[in-house]
Structure formats: C-alpha cells, structure tokens
Amino acid sequence: MAQTNAVALPGISIQINVPKDSVAKRNRKIRWVTDILIVFLTFYVPYRTVGYVGGTFGHSVVGSFIGSGIGVYLLGLLMPRMLVDNAEWSGYVTQNPLGKGIMIPYGPGLHPALPWEERNEDGNYSLRVITRPFTLTSPTKTSAVTIQGRLFYNASLRFLINAVGVDKEVVEEGLIAFIDSDLIPMLAELDAETAVTQTAEISRKLNKIFRDTPAVTPNAIAKPEEFEEKFGYSTAAIVIDKIAYAPKVQEALDAVSKARKMNEIAAELLGVTKAELAEMLKEKVITVKQVKEVLDRALVTSGNAKMQLNVIEGDMAAAVAGFLGKGGQP
C-alpha cells in the first residue's frame, strides 16, 4: 500500500501520496548507459592491463587477480558518486558542470547518477508538508473581518530545481498574498454577519482555487500553479480556522451588547418594560442620568462596586446613554 502524508483538517480530507521520482525531469537513459560503461571499464581496464603486465613476467594469473582487486577498489570509490539514494519524502538537486551548470532533480529512492555531478547539503529538500499560520484582514459589504487560518505547502518535486536559492519567507509571503487576493473578491460579496458563519465554505472555495485548478497551460489563468513552476513550491491545503469581526468592529458590537443588557436591567429595576422605559426617556419622565444612578445603586448594593467602575464609567456610560437615548435600538 502506498504510504501517505496525512493532514488532518476540519471539513477537508487530504491524503498526499509519497512523491514519485518519475515526475522529476532528467535523462535517465544516458545515466544508465554511462554508469554501466564506467563500471565495465573501471573493472576491465585494470584486469586486462595488470594481467598483461604480469603475463610478461610469467605470472598472468597473479596479474589478473591483482588487476581485478584494483578494479573492485576503484569501483568502491566511484559507486557513491554514481548513485543518489533519497529517503521517502525527500528530494535532491545536483549540478552537472559539463552541462553548463544544469541542475538535476532526484526523487525518493536509489537512482543512477553521473559521477561528475556536483553535490552538497544545500541540495537536500524535504517534500513533507509545512504548516504556516496566517492572519489577514479583508473588507465585506458591511465591515472588515479578520481571517485566521493555516497554509499547508511543500516543495514540488516536479519543479524542485526552481526551489534552489528560494527563501522560505519568499514562498510563504507569496502564497499568502495569493490567498489574500482571492479572499478580497470572495468576501466582498458577503456582509460581515454572513462571513463569520461561513468558515468551512470559504475554506472549500480557497482549496478549489489552489488545489483543483488544472496544470499550467498557455490559456489557463492559474496563479498558484504559475507560482509553483517559478519557485518550486506548491499548496497542499488552506484551512480557514476562524473569521471574526475586526477588533474595532468587535469593540463596538460589545459596547452595544453591554448597553442592551444595561437597558434590560434598568427596566427591570424600575418595574417597567424596555419599551416603556424608552417612552419614559423620550417624554423626559426620567433622564439618562437618573437611570445611571439607579444602576449604580443596584451594583453597589450587590457588592459589585468595582464592576460599576469598569462597566458604567467612561466609554461604557456613553454607550448606555446613547443606547437608551435611541429607545433601546442599536
């Protein structure tokens, strides 16, 4: 059974198969032919040469044996340069100096390579999924909302040579910029109240844009795929964890909510309904200041004097006054 790198996401099922070396672009035939020829010559030349020299002294068998040993020794030195062995979920990029610095990608598994290809630690790439949390602010029809989510991405074996020299920050900021640009028109069609309830739906739409679009073609408008080809990284998934009102908007909503609660308490203390209290304020039977005094006395009596200072004074008092002055309507 093919192993997978599972990503557990709410509402999204993702099973990423182990990358196959077959998607890495390189000339496999020339590497097989070259390595077989090198193995043959590395063993055969010492065997024949030393055997011939030994034969001139009457010891051809001994010479051939020594020549074979030299050939085996040389093969032992060359073999690590003729093979690339990658673990699962890893890729490797070498450079061929005889091919004008052409970079060669290798996927998981054991593969023949040209012995003169240059290698270093910087050529190692993990193909496992990387998680990057993000927070964005986007406008809606009514107010701005804050989007908290996670970006799941990994190096693309298909375009791995393009990842050479690319900083992780460049990849993350680039992909998040695409997310932001797609969220803006998506949320612009909704009001804030609707947007905060459609977290899963917006996640699905983003994943469709980033993961279900076709490969790059001359006629396709596929920004994430173009980014993958250019920088060597692709999007595995996008999850929107939370959509909430922007902080300033939330503060205003909280103030209105608290004011509404104060209105209910004041009406109950005065033995009237909220509608009757609103009418009393309108007809100036009672003033906002008098209502505030009623609330203050109730809070002090209940031992919540500290709460009274936090809730009634300052901005909260203004919120209550404004709310009551409008007849209890936000």
Q: Are 175 and 207 in contact (CB under 8 A)?
A: no
- pLDDT digit string (tens) for 43-80? 999 998 988 888 888 788 888 899 999 999 999 999 99
Regarding whether 192 and 160 lie in a shared domain, the answer is yes
- pLDDT digit string (tens) for 311-321? 444 444 444 44
Domain assignment present for residue 114? The answer is yes
Regarding whether 92 and 76 lie in a shared domain, the answer is yes
* Residues in CB range of 130: below 8 A, 6 or more apart: 152, 153, 154, 168
Q: Are 263 and 326 in contact (CB under 8 A)?
A: no
- Domain total in the chain: 3
Which of 102-116, 181-195, 212-226, 237-251 is the least confident region?
A: 212-226
User: Percentage helix, strand, coil, to 5, in the chain?
Assistant: 55, 20, 25
In this predicted model, which residue has the larger pLDDT, 151 or 278?
A: 151
CATH number of the domain bearing residue 185: 3.30.479.30
Separation of alpha carbons 301 and 117, rounded Å: 85
Domain assignment present for residue 59? The answer is yes
* Residue numbers of the domain that contains 252: 248-325
pLDDT of residue 249: 59
Q: Give percent of the chain with pLDDT exceeding 90.
A: 18
Regarding whether 162 and 109 lie in a shared domain, the answer is no
Separation of alpha carbons 278 and 40, rounded Å: 100
Regarding whether 117 and 43 lie in a shared domain, the answer is yes
pLDDT of residue 271: 75
Domain end: 245, 276, 305, which one? 245
* Residues in CB range of 264: below 8 A, 6 or more apart: 274
For 192, counting Cβ atoms within 10 Å of its Cβ (0-12 exposed, 13-18 middle, 19+ buried), the class is buried
Q: Are 206 and 238 in contact (CB under 8 A)?
A: yes
Domain end: 245, 263, 283, which one? 245
- pLDDT digit string (tens) for 126-153? 998 899 999 998 888 877 888 899 988 8
Domain end: 219, 245, 271, which one? 245
Which of 34-38, 193-197, 206-210 is the least confident region?
A: 206-210
